[in-house]
């Protein structure tokens, strides 16, 4: 489903998402998605492409479907379960551009992330 990324954050995302993507039903659902998400971090940005699967690349692209901004420390808080995506959105730790224009893509990405963060 996911080609192994060459960069550090890409690898973390690949490992986190590997659990939900290992479920055949969810894998089939994600395979139908067509969108691009840029995750901006305080380290560097990565581009996550959904097109017959998922691919993570180092770097930014203009005009993604969604642009998510979070510090790596916030991502770690999410991973540890010390905060939730909704709480992080509300307190500004997580910012998303494109929510209003692409609500379905937002819901899909939220679903992937929240499944990845489940313990």
Partner 1 sequence: MSLKQKLISIVGEQYVSDGLAEKYVYSFDMTENPPKRPAMVVMPESVQQLQQIVRIANKDRVPLVPFVTGQNIGGLTIPQVDDAVTVDLKRMNKIVEVDDEAMYAVVEPGVTFGHLRKYLDEHNPSLTYTYPLAPPYTSVLANALLQGLCDLSTMRGAMGDFINGLEAILPTGEIVRAGSAIMGDGNWFGRYPLPDLVGLFSGWQGMSGFVTKIAVQLWPKKQFTRHAALFTFGEVPTTELLKRIARAQLIDDADCMSLSIVKMLLGVSPPVQVYGGEPDYGTLLTLSGNIEKEADAKYELIETFVEDARKNESRQLLVDWDAISRMLGDQAKSWVDFPSDAFKVLTEYDGLTWVGTYIHPKHWGEALSGGRKIVEKYGFELMAYLKPMNSMHFGEFKFIIRFPKDDATVEKVRHCNEELLDFALSLKALPYKTPVWAAKKLQQNADPGFVELLKRIRKTLDPNGIMNPGRWGL
Give residues with Cβ within 8 angstroms of 59, minimum separation 6. Answer: 44, 45, 46, 47
Listed ranges 26-34, 61-69, 71-79, 94-102: which one lies at the site for partner 1 (CB under 8 A): 71-79
Site for partner 1 contains 51 (CB under 8 A): no
Report which of 13, 2, 98, 104 is spatially closest to residue 50, judged by C-alpha positions.
2
Contacts with partner 1: how many residues (CB under 8 A)? 22
In the three-class reduction of DSSP (H, G, I as helix; E, B as strand; rest coil), residue 54 is classed as strand
Binding status of residue 73 toward partner 1 by CB under 8 A: yes
What's the longest Cα–Cα distance across the chain?
35
Stretch that binds partner 1, among 24-32, 40-48, 62-70, 99-107 (CB under 8 A): 40-48
Closer residue to partner 1 in complex, CB, 69/99: 69
Binding site for partner 1 (CB under 8 A): 4-9, 11-12, 15-16, 18, 42-45, 58, 72-73, 76, 79-80, 119
């Amino acid at each position: 489903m996911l080609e192994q990324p060459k960069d550090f954050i890409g690898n973390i995302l690949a490992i986190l998402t590997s659990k939900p993507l290992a479920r055949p039903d969810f894998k089939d659902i994600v395979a139908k998605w067509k969108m691009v998400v840029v995750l901006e971090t305080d380290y560097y940005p990565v581009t996550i492409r959904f097109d017959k699967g998922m691919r993570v690349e180092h770097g930014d692209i203009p005009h993604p479907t969604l642009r998510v901004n979070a510090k790596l420390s916030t991502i770690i808080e999410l991973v540890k379960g010390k905060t939730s995506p909704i709480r992080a959105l509300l307190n500004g730790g997580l910012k998303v551009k494109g929510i209003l224009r692409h609500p379905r893509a937002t819901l899909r990405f939220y679903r992937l992330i929240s499944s990845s963060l489940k313990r």
